[in-house]
Amino acid sequence: MAAPMPEANVVYELVLRGIAIGALVSATAGVWRVARGKPVALAALLLCIAAIGHVLESSRAFSAHGGAVYIAANVLSLGTTGFMWLFVVTLFDDRTMGAKTLAPVLGLIAVGLVAFATTMWPIKVLQRLCEAGLALHALAVVIRTWRGDLVEARLRIRAPFVAIVALYALLMAGSQIVGLQPPADLINGAALAALCVAGAAIFVRGPADLLGATGPRQSTPPADAADRAVLDRLNQTMDAGEIWRREGLTIGALAEAVGIPEHRLRPMINDHLGFRNFAAFVNARRIEAAKRMLADPEQSRTTVAAIAYDLGFGSLGPFNRAFKEATGVTPTEFRRGTS
C-alpha cells in the first residue's frame, strides 16, 4: 500500500496541476482566437478538455476527494492521447477533420471506456498499446513532415515540441518503474505544469502563420524586384524545366536548381505561392498533369501506374491518395468520368 502524501506535498501538487489547467486554457484560447473554424482549432479544444481530465484524474490527492467529479475526469481523460494525435496531424500535417482522422480517436476512447468499466487486464493492455501506437505515430508525423515544412513558425516549434513530449514520457515512465508514488505525484504535477506552460508559450498568442489555412492561399507577387526575379526562376524551373517530375525531389534539390539557399526558398513558396508544405507544392503540378493525361483519349491505354511513375510518384499508393485528396475521386474514377 502506498504511503500517504505529506500535506504540504498535496498542496504543492494541486497548485502545479492548477497551473497546468490554466496554461491549457490559455493556449487553447490563443489557438481558437486565430484559427476558429479550422480543424486545428477544434482539435485543440478537444485536447484541452481531455487534458484537463488527465491532469485531474492522474492526481491521487484529487482522487481521494473527487467523487463523481473524479469519475467524470477519468472518462474525459480517455481521449487525451488520441486528441494529442489529432492536434499533431492537423497542425503539422495540415490534415482536415473527417471520418479517417476521427476514427483512431473514437476507437481509442471506445477501448478506454471498456477498460474503465472492467478489470480485464487484456483490455487495459490493449488500451496502453493503442495509446502508445498513436503517440509514436504522432511523433513520426512531426519528424516525417519536418524537412518539407514551408512555415517558419512550425519549423521553429518542432524540436521543442518533440523534446517536451519525450521528456514528459521519460519522466512518467521512470517514476512508474521506480515506484516511488508520493514523489511521483509531485513529479507528475511538475511535468504536466511545465509541459502545459511550454505549450501556452507557443500558442497563447496564436501566430497566424503557424495556424494558417490548410490549403494553398492566393498567390501574392513579391514587391521586391530581386524576389520577383527569384520567383520567375522558380516558376521557370517548375514549369519549363518540369523538375517536379523528378522522383524524390527535395526542397534542397529544388533550391540548388533555382540557385538560391534553401532557407530563402521556403518563405518564397509559402509567402508568395501560398503553400504550407513542399509535398503539396510539388503535387499541385503533378495532379494537374495527371488530370490532363487521364482525360486524354490518346492515353486511354496508359495505365494509372504508368502515369504515376511518369509524374514522379514512387509508387501507385501515394499517387492515388494525393489525387483523391485534391479531386475527391480516385484516378480511375476520374478517367471513367471523362471518357
- pLDDT tens track for 267-290: 889 888 889 899 999 999 999 999
Question: What CATH number did the domain enclosing 84 receive?
Answer: 1.20.1070
Domain count, the chain: 2
d(CA 122, CA 93): 33
Q: How far is CA 19 from CA 6, 266, 305, in A?
A: 20, 37, 54
Determine, yes or no, domain membership for 218.
Answer: no
Determine, yes or no, domain membership for 151.
Answer: yes
Say whether pLDDT at 333 is over 80.
Answer: yes
DSSP 5-49: PPHHHHHHHHHHHHHHHHHHHHHHHHHHHHHTTSHHHHHHHHHHH
Say whether pLDDT at 254 is over 70.
Answer: yes
Domain that holds residue 283: 225-338
Set of cell numbers at residue 27: 493556449
Both 152 and 79 in a single domain? yes
Q: Are 220 and 258 in contact (CB under 8 A)?
A: no
Check residue 311 and give its pLDDT: 94
Check residue 281 and give its pLDDT: 93
Check residue 162 and give its pLDDT: 82
Determine, yes or no, domain membership for 209.
Answer: no
Both 261 and 333 in a single domain? yes
Both 235 and 168 in a single domain? no
Both 269 and 192 in a single domain? no
Cell 485543440 belongs to 44
Both 144 and 179 in a single domain? yes
Both 87 and 194 in a single domain? yes
Q: Among the listed ranges 40-54, 171-185, 197-211, 289-303, which one has the minimum average pLDDT value?
A: 171-185
Using the 3D structure, point to which of 203, 235, 252 is the last residue of a domain. Answer: 203
3-state secondary structure of 92: helix
pLDDT band at 180 (very low <50, low <70, confident <90, very high): very low
d(CA 123, CA 222): 57
User: Taking residues 152-180, what's their average pLDDT?
Assistant: 71
Determine, yes or no, domain membership for 249.
Answer: yes
| Sign of CA pseudo-dihedral 255, 259, 265, 269 | negative
Determine, yes or no, domain membership for 125.
Answer: yes
Q: Please report the beta strands in 9-166, taking only residues with DSSP state E, as ranges in sequence order.
A: none
Rounded to the nearest 10°, the torsion over CA 324, 319, 153, 194 is: 80
Say whether pLDDT at 37 is over 90.
Answer: no
Both 187 and 229 in a single domain? no
Say whether pLDDT at 175 is over 50.
Answer: yes
